[in-house]
Structure 1
Amino acid sequence: MKNNTYTVLSKLAVFLSHYKATLVGAGLALMFTAGVTLAMGQGVKLLIDDGFVAGSPDKLNGAAIFIIGVAVLMSIGTYIRFYLVSWLGERVSADIRQAVFDHLLTLHPSYFEENRSGEIMSRLTTDTTLLETVIGSSASMALRSLLTFIGGMILLLVTNLKLSAFVLAGVPVVLLPIMLFGRRVRNLSRQSQESIAGVGSYAGEIIQQIKTVQSYTQEDNEKRAFNAHVEGAFAAAKRRIRQRALLIAVVISLIFSAIAAMLWVGGNDVISGAMSAGELGAFVFYAIIVAGSVATISEVIGDVQRAVGAAERLFELLSIKSLIVAPGKPQPAAPLEAAIHFDQVSFCYPSRPDEAALSELTLDIPAGRSLALVGPSGAGKSTLFELLQRFYDPSAGKILLGGQDLRSFTPQDLREQLAVVAQTPTLFSGSVLHNIRYGNPNASEAEVIEAAKAANAHDFIERLPEGYQSDLGEQGVRLSGGQKQRVAIARAILKNPRILLLDEATSALDAESEFRVQQALDNLMQGRTTIIIAHRLATIRNADQIAVMQDGNIAALGTHNELLDSSPLYKRLSELQFQENKTTQPSMDKTA
């Protein structure tokens, strides 16, 4: 555990080391304020011996002026210290938050399948906020208290060696519970943070699926379930607070018991003339400074332990290695022919290692040609898209682009050659312009509008309250399904890729919009390698080839007419589609 703490602190030190000048400035300000605080004790001694006891108004005035001067210097030093240390806390926390987010963007998708997004978000927000508070406030208090403790102890020894023995005897007695309780506080702090993360994760999931919750009238059940999470987090927090409160109570009782004993001995020495009242006053001042420093350290150590736990959770994220990595010497993908070849590809999803999604699949897609994938659910159609984008690597076999293994390119270079239109389009919070321009951030507004027109989206966008500047809300909630689909198609058109991946790209459109968008897609597909997952006959008939997939492999390959004769599975799927088209009236897009 101790080694783990040192590891976390050493990683924190790396982030702090980027701001050496600020660290030095904060350190000097800390030492200055600690020194000035300790100098106040000499002011107390002068005030008592030269002012009160000697009965000299001039010396009393001088002592008062000295104390005021020290107070002014203390306030200036405190301002500088507080600003620099708070700045460091904010800056380092922001750097860690950015580093974690940047690293998350490079991780393989399967990591996010195995870990809840709410838990990750809690680390990115709650843990970094805690870290910011501790670095910017608690750590500063702890360092200042440590300096005043050391300086106070030295001055205690200088002022009166006999009384210092009482203080020194009490130090190990006070430090022992700090060490014992501190370790427990750290473990409980981590548990508390994880409980809070669970609360946030659960709440985020329910809010995201609020329509389903209300549709199934599960509000009361979800309230009870959320209450259980909240109470669990509260119970963890109570355990942590109980340990911290006990630590503080023990330290305070020990400290003031030692001070009482010291005052008793010192009072007798003043009465007997062994020491002056000013010396006792200065000694009491330093003793209170030392006691206050120990009390502050004992209180702050709980925050520091919490920060170590929070930092540990953040550095765990930073230490995760992505399963999808760029090669040492990557090949450029852009000059290669956009021909795709699957060579004996087998694949199992990490979450289902015993269930093959693809099994020794071999498939050729010539450059500039289109291939439609059909087959029952679970046949492996979407898995081909996942592997082509290198969200996963094959368990066996290889996938070639222009004769080169996909693993010879950087993931970014490979994905720049592709554009995907998914069955369920993904939109971001922000304007229509931002969402379409996601396909090409450097595109002009005129180019965005042209892409929207090609996707049959321009007319409904113009009718939105602020046109292309209209905010779509979280996940595009303010658009209908068909409108979302057309915005996603416009994004793909704007990217102008060499390879198109269309996953039921027209499934959410009404008959008229589908016809128009299909025309746009037909134009877009010209000269581009295109793979289409589709069940609609119009899309399938336009493809150069159709691959019938079953159980993770290619059951049949050919044109529409060829497969009607050679593939019973394709014939059955076609007949089912035909019957469905006959019995189902096309739904009209209410806002088309």
Structure 2
Amino acid sequence: MGFSAGAGTDAPTVAPIVSIRKTFRRFWPYTRGLRRLLVLGVAAAILATACEIAAIRLFGLITDEVLSTHDLTAFWAPALAWLGLALVAAVASFVSAYGAAVGGERFLLRLRDSVFDHLQTLTPDFFENRRLGDLMARLTDDIEAIEELVASGLIRLITAVISAVLFSAAAFWIRWDLALVTFAMIPAFLLVSKAFASRFRRAAARERFSNGVMNSTVEEALSNQSVVQAYNRQAAEAGRLHEAGRGWLTANLWQARLSALYGPAVQVIETVCMLVIIGFGAWEIAAGRLTLGGLLAFAAYLAYLYPAVQGLGEIALTVSEAGAGSDRIMEVLRARPAVTDRPGARTPSAPVRGHIEFLDVGFTYPRRSRPTLSGLSFSALPGELIVCTGPSGAGKSTVAKLLLRFYDPTEGRILLDGTDLRDLPSDVLRNRVTLLQQENLVFSGTVRDNIAYGRPESSQAEIVEAAVTAGAHDFIRGLPQGYNTPIGQRGRLLSGGQRQRIAIARAILRDTPVLVLDEPMTGLDEPTAARIMEPLRRLMSGRTTILITHDLRLVPDAAEKVVLEAARDSGRIRLRLSRQHGTSVPSP
């Protein structure tokens, strides 16, 4: 498991080492359809390397036959060949770099989409127990780290291996004994890379954690700016961000320190190698066993060889950085949805009536020992209004979550028109139930986009009709662009009442046979609640409605009440159910 940046998490747990084999086995399938691009990138890189080898050989030839002999007539043929090789190498390098970029970016898009799709199948408690900023970091930085290994990193690895082999062969062809002397230094590159790899892995894990904390701090503070300013907590929030930023700064400086040390260490090894080459080569030239052009070509081959070998060492660093990201993404993908469709779940052929039945339902939230609901039984006939009331913590909102199959009951059954909800595909069930929550959640976009969110194919006439029914049409007409007016992130450009009416219009337009209203009047004074109840009554008309509320001021007298009462008995919660008609409900 990787570290979990949940609420209250203050320090990272370094992700375990994830081997190349495990990472590739998990994420290589995402390259399906992109592998031709990766092969093209490798092939073009090999062609560019071959051109460079031939160009270096021509450089040695020009040195020996033109510069040493002062014979200018021997210059033109190799010079033109060199120019042709340079042009071919330039085109090949472009194809390699662009092919790798296209393949890598498409891999990123595909993997991010897949992880996000999986996240959307997970139940609300998964998100409640994790920092939003950390999840954002996983969808960005961690996925990029995986791409640098599996897609573009694979191209770099293959290219580095082939380049090292080709430049080594060219150096051997010039002087095998001199090549053996210099190749003895290659293990030094690999040892340095190995020594830095584990440190880079720990630094990468710490940077990922710190980045997630900082993103969460920014998102939380900006989302709650009205509260921050109302309570004069700007300085406190700035301090929180500063502390999170300092943690991120420390992690980045640790990475920078390692990078700053790694480069000079490799450079010292390269310098030693070049000095050995020059010294040994000068001795060979003095003895007449090597020409100046041969020595320069040999040195040039090694000048290309060592970066290729260094690139192989850097792959280890890439693996180390990808290890933390790979484990964090795997942790998300290992998380299982709390509910899944049963094999054979199908859509009933009978028309939807909206008959809801809770039969001896009990439920305990994950990672909790006490039940939230126990022995709950009631029914709501088609078109009937059921009011579910009781004190906070009695499980009122849990009724809505179970009805929408965010969770399945741990005991008992819930039926819709006689069919167990677990025998219905989740999407079919949720197309038959509309949830109107206490917090009127809207999205950035236009008024029209938000009303049509549940039925994006709706016509303009249908959208307007829903808005009229919800009592929203008049204020929408007064907006600068009417139904095409952008409302800002989370609807910040609208008042709370306006957002509520848009949410009601959205529910009206969806037009499902079952309606769940979760505390729709919380925080409203009586006149405002009365105004909101008018469109709500129109919304409830003809639908099976479960109204979850602790505020019974405006509940219709004919409504049937389901009262959840939480009583403590020896430290354990016992839930009792009572039903009655009328507005007189015993105090829980």
Does TM-score exceed 0.5, indicating one fold?
yes
Which residue number in structure 2 is paired with residue 147 of structure 1? 162
Which residue number in structure 1 is paired with residue 579 of structure 2? 557
- Which is worse superposed, 254-263 or 265-274? 254-263
Q: 2:354 aligns with which of 338, 343, 346?
A: 338
Which residue number in structure 2 is paired with residue 278 of structure 1? 293
State how far apart, in whole Å, the 2-side matches of 1:220 and 1:515 are: 40
User: Cα gap change, 1:520/1:210 in structure 2, threshold over 3 Å: closer, same or farther?
Assistant: closer
Percent pairwise identity: 30
Which residue number in structure 2 is paired with residue 423 of structure 1? 438
* 1:149 partner amino acid: A
Per-residue deviation, residues 327-360 of structure 1 (Å, max 9, x unmatched): 1110325735421111221222225x13322122
User: Cα gap change, 1:504/1:292 in structure 2, threshold over 3 Å: closer, same or farther?
Assistant: closer
- Aligned to 1:269, the other structure's residue is in SS state helix
Q: Is the 8 A contact 1:547 1:554 kept in 2?
A: no
Which residue number in structure 1 is paired with residue 205 of structure 2? 190
- Which is worse superposed, 221-230 or 436-445? 221-230
Per-residue deviation, residues 388-420 of structure 1 (Å, max 9, x unmatched): 111112222221212222111121111111111
Count of aligned pairs between the two proteins = 565
The offset of 1:301, in angstroms, is 4.7
* 2:451 partner amino acid: I
The offset of 1:539, in angstroms, is 3.8
The offset of 1:514, in angstroms, is 5.1
Q: 1:80 aligns with which of 95, 99, 105?
A: 95
- Aligned to 2:357, the other structure's residue is in SS state strand
TM-score, normalising length from structure 1? Answer: 0.90
- Aligned to 1:428, the other structure's residue is in SS state coil
* 1:91 partner amino acid: R
* 1:481 matched to 2:496: yes
State how far apart, in whole Å, the 2-side matches of 1:468 and 1:244 are: 54
Q: 1:405 aligns with which of 417, 420, 428?
A: 420
Which residue number in structure 2 is paired with residue 451 of structure 1? 466
* 1:347 matched to 2:363: yes
User: Cα gap change, 1:303/1:3 in structure 2, threshold over 3 Å: closer, same or farther?
Assistant: closer
State how far apart, in whole Å, the 1-side matches of 2:188 and 2:531 are: 82
Which residue number in structure 2 is paired with residue 97 of structure 1? 112
* 1:279 partner amino acid: G
Q: Is the 8 A contact 1:248 1:298 kept in 2?
A: no
Q: 1:309 aligns with which of 324, 343, 347?
A: 324
State how far apart, in whole Å, the 2-side matches of 1:543 and 1:18 are: 61
Which residue number in structure 1 is paired with residue 195 of structure 2? 180
- Aligned to 1:110, the other structure's residue is in SS state helix
Q: Is the 8 A contact 1:456 1:516 kept in 2?
A: no
State how far apart, in whole Å, the 2-side matches of 1:289 and 1:547 are: 79
- Aligned to 2:562, the other structure's residue is in SS state strand
The offset of 1:547, in angstroms, is 1.6
Which residue number in structure 2 is paired with residue 584 of structure 1? none
The offset of 1:542, in angstroms, is 4.3
- Aligned to 2:134, the other structure's residue is in SS state helix
- Aligned to 1:423, the other structure's residue is in SS state coil
* 2:142 partner amino acid: D
* 1:467 matched to 2:482: yes
State how far apart, in whole Å, the 2-side matches of 1:439 and 1:509 are: 26
* 1:534 matched to 2:539: no
The offset of 1:238, in angstroms, is 2.1
User: Cα gap change, 1:347/1:383 in structure 2, threshold over 3 Å: closer, same or farther?
Assistant: same
Which residue number in structure 2 is paired with residue 108 of structure 1? 123
Which residue number in structure 1 is paired with residue 277 of structure 2? 262
* 1:247 partner amino acid: Y
User: Cα gap change, 1:254/1:156 in structure 2, threshold over 3 Å: closer, same or farther?
Assistant: same
- Aligned to 1:479, the other structure's residue is in SS state coil
Q: Is the 8 A contact 1:540 1:560 kept in 2?
A: no
User: Cα gap change, 1:120/1:297 in structure 2, threshold over 3 Å: closer, same or farther?
Assistant: same
Which residue number in structure 2 is paired with residue 248 of structure 1? 263
- Aligned to 1:475, the other structure's residue is in SS state helix
Per-residue deviation, residues 456-482 of structure 1 (Å, max 9, x unmatched): 000001111111111111111111111
- Aligned to 2:341, the other structure's residue is in SS state coil
Which residue number in structure 1 is paired with residue 391 of structure 2? 376
**Where in structure 1 are there 5+ consecutive unaligned residues?**
571-592
